[in-house]
Amino acid sequence: MSDFVEECRREWKRLGVPDPVANEMAADLTADLQEAEAEGGSPEDVLGNSAFDPRRFAASWAVARGVTSPLASEERPSRWRPTVAIALTVLLGILTVAAGLALVVGVRGRSVAIATRRIVAVPGPIRVFPSGLGRIVPGPLGPFMETQISGIGLHPLALLLLIVGVVGLALLAVLYWWPWSGSRRYHRQRDQRSPSWN
Amino acid sequence: MASTEGRRTQLLRGVLDLCLLAVMEEGPAYGYEMTKRLRARGLSIVGEGSIYPLLGRLERDGVVETRRAASNGGPPRKYYSLSREGARALKAGVSEWQATRDAVDGALGLVKAEVRP
């Protein structure tokens, strides 16, 4: 069975078309497509430009036969999708603004440090022990702490977050919010092609 | 102003059901057979929509009757034929089309235009 018919079957299943009706339509379609192919023709000879949009074709046929409702054949908007898109947009927006502010305010040179060891004072030379042992020695050991604690510079971190935020927002804009993109583009194209003759 | 292709689609949309009924008058036919009959009469649907949804609507409206029968050496096919109501609808539709066509010809007849096949 051709990919086109398979795609139609999936759409009929999604629309709740009864199996006997779907089987009948699929059999008729398959027979016609095979006949056209045997005669050297193409699916377009049988289906017109519907050959390029199996889901639309399958839905309009099912609606015309009265085995599904026109409302069911409409693309069901996903409930979670707008919510996720809004949440991502807000999150990325906050991230971008915060990263931009951090860069503007000038945090160059500062660092976020994660101490993995503690420096303790013991008789004799200064030694480094795993965390949990001894006590933290303040002030005077500052210079040693600088050398013992690893950290991440805030400037590159802010820059990285800014890039992630901007790229993320751009991707979201292209994939979802832009009027000619994503699911909206599908609806626009759907209205422009594949007349259903109904 | 509609593009040439858009206008052709719109014009066909209004009369394709009549064209299908007309080719069914030749005798019962399955889907692709009707497409071939239309092509033989000079009307190609390539570049336009499929006739299957329209056939489904005609069946639902009771304008055509269907039966499943073996085709020549192939699998059983669904054959469409005119119902009595369909035959009446065809006559009425053709009359309406001719009147419309004459009126449009009257309006456009004086315009010289290159006729494309």
Average pLDDT over every residue of A98-123: 63
Q: What is the ipTM of this complex?
A: 0.85
B50 in Cβ contact with A57 (< 8 Å) = yes
Nearest-CA distance A74 → chain B (Å): 16
Q: What are the tens digits of pLDDT across the range A119-149? A: 555 555 555 555 444 445 555 554 444 444 4
Residue A134 has what pLDDT? 45
Q: Would you place residue A115 in the very low, low, confident or very high pLDDT band (cuts 50, 70, 90)?
A: low
Interface of A with B in 37-76 (CB under 8 A): 44-51, 57, 60-61, 63-66
**Closest chain A residue by Cα to residue B9:** A195
In a mutagenesis test of the A interface, which of B32, B35, B37, B55 is the best target, namely the one with the most A β-carbons within 10 Å?
B32
Residue A130 β-bridge partners: A117
**Closest chain A residue by Cα to residue B11:** A197
**Closest chain B residue by Cα to residue A37:** B32
Which string of DSSP letters, residue by residue, matches A2-37? -HHHHHHHHHHHHHT--HHHHHHHHHHHHHHHHHHH
Average pLDDT over every residue of B89-102: 96
Query: b/e string for B12-47 if b means 16 or more Cβ within 10 A?
Result: bbebbbebbbbbbeeebbbbbbbbbbbeeeebebee
User: Model pTM?
Assistant: 0.60
The pLDDT mean for chain A works out to: 74
A55 in Cβ contact with A68 (< 8 Å) = no
Measured CA to CA, the distance from residue B59 to residue B81 in angstroms comes to 10
Average pLDDT over every residue of A26-48: 92
Q: What are the tens digits of pLDDT across the range A153-194? A: 667 888 888 888 888 888 888 777 665 544 444 444 444 444
Average pLDDT over every residue of A67-71: 82
- Is A61 close to B45, i.e. CB distance below 8 A? no
Average pLDDT over every residue of A20-24: 94
Q: Between A36, A44, A61, which is nearest B53 by CB?
A: A61
Q: What are the tens digits of pLDDT across the range B5-44? A: 688 888 888 899 999 999 999 999 999 999 999 999 999 8
Residue B1 has what pLDDT? 63
- Is A28 close to B77, i.e. CB distance below 8 A? yes
